Amino acid sequence: MGELQERHFISENNRKILYTDTLQKHEVYSEVDCAAYCARNDNCVIATFDQVTLTCYTDVEKNTSLTTGPMMNWTVLYKIEPKDKWWQRICYDNPSALLNCLPNEEIMVSAAIYGNLACMSGTRLSGFPNCGKYVTETLTNVCNRKETCAITVNSSTFGTTNCGGSENLFVDYECYAADVTFKHSQDDNR
């Protein structure tokens, strides 16, 4: 699982969701994999991971009233929602563009497509263009964890396509509080 999904969670060591019988069960390799299962389900807001059996339990009904309690070798994962969600079209005739978040927020790129995209300001991308490619990883490497990010929209940045030139860029990104990281709280053995 990539850094993007990792940053959607804060974990708390040595705690678990006490009653897991109504949760979805997954065999996983790590708590990061457990977070990935929760991240893929919009209704999941909390998960718990057994570090001994490598078992993950995810909430599937946006049940925020689940009870947690102390338990050695378990982790509770809380999904963090972004402060702001943004999208932007960057046209070839404006080759230098800027993604930005508010002060003390960080960019997290969700998706980016480079190709023959109509460059109509104020409209979201309705589907994959007839000619283009995903450049999410490229943009993630350049912009994630920055408050602002300058982008040069050209083939030097995103490579060539068979689209015939004049490629545009569509970016979907979110802004998270700069201090939200995938971190562990102090062990809690109450």
Give the tens place of pLDDT for each residue, 97-106.
788 888 888 8
Q: Rg of the chain over CA atoms, in angstroms?
A: 20
Q: Does a structural domain hold residue 17?
A: yes
Q: Does a structural domain hold residue 182?
A: no
Range of the domain at 88: 84-177
> Do 135 and 102 belong together in one domain?
yes
Q: pTM here?
A: 0.54
Contact 15, 75 (CB under 8 A): yes
Other C-beta atoms within 10 Å of 147: how many? 15
Tokens at 23, concatenated: 């949760």
DSSP secondary structure letter of residue 185: P
What is the model's pLDDT at position 95? 64
Pick from 164, 89, 175: nearest CA to 126: 89
